[in-house]
């Protein structure tokens, strides 16, 4: 029989296929993530870990099962992300170990490799929690071993492994109460089932290529831009919270099931989140009302959203310049991402270089503005409306805009949090802590924390005569300003930058970022940085083109 | 200093030991951790602690209801230590914050040892 042994080539195809299928379904896996920390990133983490394993396997020159196994083991170890990723890497480590010295595997060998993977994985934990990916993996290997004993083929062993994993997955809520309360199965376990499914498809001869399904099913509600409107059978994306005491999630789920698709009812008996695509939002609300109080009700017309997305995509393709958008104060970013984010970021900034920096750090919408050109509340509201998801983080990046930003919250139906960044460097520090997959509150607290750990300053010029302490300031003088006071006055921006930095540096400072404005050349900025570097060889200094007006330099110290 | 909450009908005081135990339990459930180490032994072989003394490898300081935690842990050989440590930080922070309602300012992880299990 053709498939009585597993070769290195086949194993590699299995891994490619598994990685592709997992990538397609990662949103579904993310949506299940409530344990150990409900941050909705299990699918993403597992997918990234799988991709690292595949990359390493692709580099294999020889195709003995032993070499591919070692590559998978190494790749997944180095690329392990998150809890589930680390566990996955240990499964592969055990798997790879038992392939050592082999050119191909018999079905019995494969089952033994699974078993060895599970044993290795269990060794790296002090108190294994049952009802997680570990339980699912254990049942997977048991089922595979039973099949192998009965004289199965490679395909049979994988089928048995997947079946065993699926059975165990369904039971995870019985083993782990937090899953039962939330009405979900374990996310990591689900990820493992998806991986086995991908492997099985490869053995059956259909290696799944990355991006095979353009419109992957995503219970989170996002839909792919290439999907046709006709494919949207249910028009209204309806989301709400139901608060009650002793809520029967299962019952509510049953009641809502007939009303639409992509349904998700998760939470606790006190608070449930309901998400459903339906043609009758009223009926959904009425049904939920029978179970408790409704909060944060949101109904979106998906056809309209789709049209807007399509229009935005076409607009950005038609014109690389976002001048039209800039006129309204809102710049839609090219290559609009439809990928599901938990929370989008809207930031206020001015200057081409800063725009680039903010975009590269994950900002979805830029609102033009800054010192002396504060955006109006309306412009901020428009910016929020242009964000690709319901939850939005707003970075004002200027003390004078924080108030307008807070007002904007009142005027939008989206859930918006302001991370009160007083200036650009602080905004960038906050963005470095931003994680698109984490939820709004987690992001905000992380971003504020990151911001608090950064000191910032600005080098600008005086617009009028003034007195600061004992110092006379004349119009046109160059000023170095920390967050709250003027600490340096001079005539040369680079010299003032040096004095300012001395004030900002603390004992534990390691990292300095300098953003130079439109009135400074790259050479000048590099020269200024070199002087500082000479004085402080221990510092790591980065110089970026900010292109901002009014400020010669913006600087942050971590 | 223990953390204090004031409510209308009285106050709630949470001792550091409570936070340390919650953090200890959370860490030992974390994948990649094979043990807690006594913080007293800073050089030489880290001592693996039993289950009864879960809070031994944990230092907690509470300042104005904000918690700082240091943990001394032993990891399994062959895991990505940086990722395991990151997971411990996330997990401990989440558990302590959700169970006590306190704000966790930071969780520092000190890897005191690597355990090599029997040859496989």
Contact assignment for B31 to A86 by CB distance below 8 Å:
yes
Does residue B40 have a pLDDT over 70?
Answer: no
Instruction: Classify burial at A485, counting beta carbons within 10 Å of its beta carbon; exposed 0-12, middle 13-18, buried 19 or more.
Output: exposed
With cut-offs at 50, 70 and 90, classify the pLDDT of residue A72: very high
Write out the residue range of the structural domain in which residue A70 sits. Answer: 6-203
Last residue of a domain, one of A406, A426, A452: A452
Closest CB to A125 among B32, B94, B95: B32
Alpha carbons A190 and A22: distance in angstroms, whole number: 10
State the pLDDT at residue A461: 82
Q: A508 at the B interface (CB within 8 A)?
A: no
Which segments of A453-541 does DSSP mark as H helices, in order?
493-504, 522-535
Rounded to 5 degrees, what are φ and ψ at A13?
-60, -40
Does residue A472 register a pLDDT over 50? yes
Inside any domain, residue A80? yes
Average pLDDT over residues A45-49: 92
Nearest Cα neighbor of A103 from A8, A15, A2 is A8
> Taking residues A100-106, what's their average pLDDT?
91
The answer to whether residues A443 and A470 belong to one domain is no
A268 and A357 housed in the same domain: yes
Nearest CB to A82: which of B26, B29, B87?
B87
Stretch A67-92: mean pLDDT, rounded? 90
Whether the predicted pLDDT of B39 surpasses 70: no
B contacts of A83 (beta carbons < 8 Å): 30-31, 87, 91
What is the model's pLDDT at position A462? Answer: 80
Note the pLDDT of residue A70: 92
Q: What is the pLDDT of residue A334?
A: 41
pLDDT at A223 over 50: no
ipTM value, please give it.
0.72
Question: Is there a single domain that holds both residue A197 and residue A245?
Answer: no
For residue B28, list chain A residues with Cβ-Cβ distance below 8 A. Answer: 126-127
In chain A, residues with a C-beta closer than 8 Å to the C-beta of B94 are: 36-38
A124 contacts B80? CB cut-off 8 A: no
CATH number at residue A233: 3.40.50.510
Give how far the C-alpha of residue A5 lies from the chain's centroid of Cα atoms, to the nearest Å.
Answer: 39
User: Which pLDDT score, from 0 to 100, does residue A470 have?
Assistant: 67
- Closest-CA residue of B relative to A42 is B87
Q: Which of residues 128-157 of A touch B (CB under 8 A)?
A: 129, 134
Q: Is A24 part of any domain?
A: yes
How far from the centroid of its chain's Cα atoms is residue A174's Cα?
30
Domain termination site, one of A452, A482, A503: A452
Q: Residues A178, A263: one domain?
A: no
C-beta of residue A459 within 8 angstroms of C-beta of residue A480: yes
What CATH number is given to the structural domain containing A504?
3.30.1180
Tell me if A90 and B94 make a contact (CB, 8 A cut-off). no
Give me the residue from A77, A83, A120 closest to B31, CB to CB: A83
Q: What is the pLDDT of residues A374-416, one digit of tens each?
A: 777 778 888 888 888 888 899 988 877 887 788 788 778 888 8
Residue A126 with chain B: CB contacts under 8 Å: 28-29, 33-35
For testing contact with chain B, the best of A33, A35, A36, A48 (most B CBs within 10 A): A36
pLDDT, tens only, A266-292: 666 666 777 777 888 888 898 888 888
Asked, for residue A250, whether it belongs to a domain, the answer is yes
| pTM over cut 0.80 | no
Q: Exposed, middle or buried by CB within 10 Å (0-12, 13-18, 19+), for A147?
A: buried
Residue B64: is its pLDDT beyond 70?
Answer: yes
Element (H, E) at B33: strand B33-36
Q: Is A83 on the interface with B (CB under 8 A)?
A: yes
Residue A275, in any domain of the structure: yes
* A382 and A290 belong to one structural domain: yes
- Whether residue A160 sits in one domain with residue A78: yes
For residue A91, the model assigns a pLDDT of 94
Across the interface, whether the CB atoms of B32 and A93 are under 8 A apart is answered no
* Counted domains in chain A: 3
A177 reaches B (C-beta below 8 A): no
Domain with A196 in it: what CATH number? 1.25.40.340
The DSSP symbol for A130 reads T
Q: At what angle do helices B81-100 and B16-28 cross, to 10 degrees?
A: 140
pLDDT tens digit sequence for A178-222? 888 888 899 999 999 999 999 999 998 888 887 644 333 333 333
Angstroms from B23 CA to nearest CA on chain A? 13
pLDDT tens profile A57-70: 998 888 889 999 99
Phi, psi dihedral angles at A293 (to 5 degrees): -80, 145
Residue A213 belongs to a domain? no
- The verdict on a CB contact (< 8 Å) between A124 and B32 is yes
What pLDDT sits at residue A267? 61
Percent above pLDDT 90 for chain A: 23
A-B CB pairs within 8 A amount to 71
Q: Which residue has the higher pLDDT, B119 or A427?
A: A427
Average pLDDT over residues A301-314: 62
* More confident: A123 or A140: A140
Nearest chain B alpha carbon to A35? B91
Considering the domain architecture, whether residues A136 and A249 belong to the same structural domain is answered as: no
pLDDT of residue A297: 80
* Shortest distance, CA A125 to any CA of chain B (angstroms): 5
Kindly report the average pLDDT of chain A as a whole number.
81
Q: Domain boundary residue among A452, A486, A501?
A: A452
Contact status of A124 with chain B (Cβ, < 8 Å) = yes
**A261 pLDDT tier (thresholds 50, 70, 90):** confident
| A200 at B interface, C-beta within 8 A | no
Which pLDDT score, from 0 to 100, does residue A316 have?
45
Judged by average pLDDT, the poorest of A64-68, A339-343, A520-524, A542-546 is: A339-343
pLDDT at residue B43, as a whole number: 40
| pLDDT value for A331 | 43
Q: How do beta strands B58-63 and B66-76 pair?
A: antiparallel
With respect to residue A210, please indicate whether it lies within any of the assigned structural domains.
no
- Same domain as A333, residue A236: yes
Q: What was the pLDDT predicted at A92?
A: 95
- Of A326-340, A418-432, A500-514, the range with the lowest mean pLDDT is A326-340
Going by pLDDT thresholds of 50, 70 and 90, the confidence category of residue A127 is confident
Residues A436 and A405 in one domain: yes
Closest residue, chain A, to B92 (C-alpha): A37
Q: CB–CB of A36 and B91 under 8 A?
A: yes
**The most confident of A128-132, A311-315, A381-385, A396-400, by mean pLDDT:** A128-132
Q: Is the pLDDT of residue B85 over 50?
A: yes
Whether residue A323 sits in one domain with residue A190: no
Residues of A in contact with B23 (CB under 8 A): none
- Non-local (6+) Cβ contacts of B111 within 8 A are B73, B74, B75, B81, B85
Interface residue ranges in chain B relative to chain A, Cβ cutoff 8 Å: 26, 28-35, 75-76, 78-80, 83-84, 87, 90-91, 94-95, 117, 120
In a domain, residue A31? The reply is yes
DSSP string, B60-85: EEEETTEEEEEEEEEEETTS-HHHHH
pLDDT at A449 over 80: yes
Same domain, A47 and A144: yes
Residue in B closest to A129 by C-alpha: B29
Claim to verify: residue A462 and residue A448 sit in the same structural domain:
no
A329-359 burial string, b = 16+ CB within 10 Å, else e?
bbbbbeebebebbbbbbbbbbbbebbbebbb
Given CB atoms, is A186 within the 8 Å cutoff of chain B?
Answer: no
CB–CB contact A125 B83 (8 Å)? no
Give the integer Cα–Cα distance in Å for A483 and A523: 27
Residue A212 in domain: no
């Amino acid at each position: 029989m053709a498939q009585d042994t597993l070769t290195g080539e086949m194993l590699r195809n299995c891994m490619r296929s598994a990685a592709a299928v997992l990538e397609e379904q990662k949103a579904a896996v993310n949506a299940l993530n409530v344990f150990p920390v409900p941050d909705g990133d299990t699918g993403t983490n597992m997918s990234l870990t799988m991709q690292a394993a595949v990359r390493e396997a692709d580099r294999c020159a020889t195709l003995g099962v032993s070499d591919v196994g070692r590559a998978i083991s190494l790749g997944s170890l180095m690329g392990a992300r998150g809890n589930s990723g680390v566990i996955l890497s240990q499964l592969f480590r055990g798997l790879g170990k038992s392939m050592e010295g082999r050119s191909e595997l018999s079905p019995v060998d494969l089952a033994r490799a699974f078993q060895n993977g599970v044993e290795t994985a269990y060794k790296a934990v002090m108190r294994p929690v049952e009802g997680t990916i570990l339980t699912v993996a254990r049942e997977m290997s048991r089922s595979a071993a039973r099949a192998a004993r009965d004289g199965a083929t490679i395909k049979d062993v994988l089928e048995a492994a997947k079946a065993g994993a699926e059975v165990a997955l369904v039971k995870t809520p019985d083993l782990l109460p937090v899953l039962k309360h939330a009405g979900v199965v374990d996310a990591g376990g689900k990820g493992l089932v998806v991986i086995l499914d991908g492997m099985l498809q490869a053995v059956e001869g259909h290696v799944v290529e990355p991006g095979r399904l353009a419109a992957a099913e995503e219970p989170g509600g996002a839909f792919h831009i290439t999907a046709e409107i006709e494919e949207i059978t249910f028009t209204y994306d309806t989301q709400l919270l139901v608060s009650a005491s002793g809520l029967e999630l299962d019952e509510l789920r049953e009641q809502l099931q007939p009303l639409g698709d992509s349904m998700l009812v998760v939470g606790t008996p006190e608070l449930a989140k309901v998400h459903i695509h339906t043609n009758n939002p009223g009926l959904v609300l009425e049904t939920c009302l029978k179970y408790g109080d409704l909060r944060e009700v949101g109904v979106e017309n998906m056809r309209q959203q789709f049209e807007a997305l399509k229009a935005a995509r076409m607009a950005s393709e038609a014109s690389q310049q976002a001048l039209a958008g800039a006129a309204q104060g809102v710049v839609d970013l090219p290559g609009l991402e439809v990928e599901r984010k938990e929370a989008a970021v809207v930031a206020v900034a001015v200057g081409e270089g800063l725009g680039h920096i903010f975009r590269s750090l994950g900002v979805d919408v830029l609102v033009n503005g800054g010192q002396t050109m504060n955006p109006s509340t309306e412009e901020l509201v428009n910016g929020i409306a242009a964000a690709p998801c319901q939850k939005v983080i707003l970075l004002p990046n200027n003390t004078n805009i924080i108030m307008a930003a807070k007002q904007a919250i009142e005027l939008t139906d989206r859930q918006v949090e302001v991370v009160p960044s007083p200036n650009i460097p602080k905004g960038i520090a906050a963005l470095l802590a931003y994680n698109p997959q984490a939820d709004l509150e987690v992001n905000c607290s992380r971003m504020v924390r990151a911001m608090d750990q950064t000191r910032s300053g600005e080098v600008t010029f005086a617009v009028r005569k003034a007195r600061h302490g004992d110092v006379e300031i004349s119009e046109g003088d160059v000023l170095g300003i920390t967050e709250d006071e003027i600490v340096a006055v001079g005539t040369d921006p680079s010299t003032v930058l040096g004095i300012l930095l001395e004030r900002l540096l603390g004992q534990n400072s390691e990292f300095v970022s300098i953003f130079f404005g439109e009135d400074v050349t790259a050479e000048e900025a590099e020269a200024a940085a070199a002087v500082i570097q000479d004085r402080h060889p221990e510092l790591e200094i980065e110089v970026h083109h900010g292109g901002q007006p009014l400020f010669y330099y913006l600087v942050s110290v971590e | 200093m223990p953390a204090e909450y004031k409510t209308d009908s009285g106050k709630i005081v949470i001792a550091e030991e409570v936070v340390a135990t919650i953090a200890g339990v959370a860490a030992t459930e974390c994948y990649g951790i094979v043990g807690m180490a006594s913080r007293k032994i800073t050089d030489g072989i880290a001592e693996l602690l039993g289950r009864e003394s879960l809070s031994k490898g944990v230092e907690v300081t509470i300042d104005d209801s904000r918690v700082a935690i240091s943990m001394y842990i032993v990891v399994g050989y062959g895991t990505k230590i940086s990722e395991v440590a990151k997971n411990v930080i996330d997990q401990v922070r989440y558990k302590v914050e959700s169970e006590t309602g306190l704000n966790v300012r930071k969780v520092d992880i000190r890897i005191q040892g690597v355990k090599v299990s029997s040859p496989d």
